[in-house]
Amino acid sequence: MKKLLAVMAVIMAGVYAAPAQAADPDEAIKYRKYVMGTVGDHTQAFFAILQGKVPHTGELAYHARALAEAAKRTKAAFEQNTAGQGNEPTTTLDSAWDGPQFQAGLDKMIDATESMAVAVETGDMASVGAIAGTLGCKGCHDNYRSK
C-alpha cells in the first residue's frame, strides 16, 4: 500500500507538473478563453431553452448548474496578468488588471449564476427570469474587452 502510494505520488507529480509561479502567457490566455468559452456555451444553451428556441426543457437545470460552476472558474482564469505578453490573440483590455472593479464583476456573475441555478433547481421560474437579466456579461465586456 505504502509502495503504491509512493508510485502514485510520482505519477501525479508528472501529470500535474505545476509551474512554480506563472504559466507561459500564451497558455494562460488560452486557458482563460477555454473557461470563458464554457461560460458562453452554457449561457447560450440555457437561453435557447428558456426562450423556447429548442425544446430541451429537461436540460435547463443542467446548463444552469454548469454555467454556475464554470462562472466560479473565471477567478482562476483571470489570476495571471498577461498584459503585453504572449502571441495568443486576446480581447482582454489592460484595464481589466487595474483594480478590484473587474474582480467585482466576476464575483457578481458568480453570485447571479449560482442564484439562477438554485432558482431553476427549486422550480422558482419567476426568479429565473428576474436574475437572467443581471448576469453582467455585456456590461463587463463593454468595459473590459476590445471590439
# binding residues, ligand HEC (CB under 6 A) = 23
Q: Would you say 22 and 80 are in contact if contact means Cβ atoms under 8 Å apart?
A: yes
DSSP 23: P
Q: Measure the CA–CA gap between 76 and 94, rounded to whole angstroms.
A: 17
Please, is 109 exposed, middle or buried when counting C-beta atoms within 10 Å of its C-beta (0-12, 13-18, 19+)?
buried
Member of 45, 116, 119, 135 binding ligand HEC (CB under 6 A): 135
Q: How far is the CB of 134 from ligand HEC (least distance, A)?
A: 10
The answer to the question of residue 75 lying near ligand HEC (CB under 6 A) is: no
Locate cell 488560452: which residue? 30
Q: How far is the CB of 135 from ligand HEC (least distance, A)?
A: 4
Q: Would you say 22 and 86 are in contact if contact means Cβ atoms under 8 Å apart?
A: no
Member of 25, 28, 29, 46 binding ligand HEC (CB under 6 A): 29
Residues of the shown chain interacting with ligand HEC in the complex, contacts defined by CB under 6 A:
29, 32-33, 36-37, 39-40, 43, 90-92, 96, 102, 105-106, 109, 135-137, 140-141, 144-145
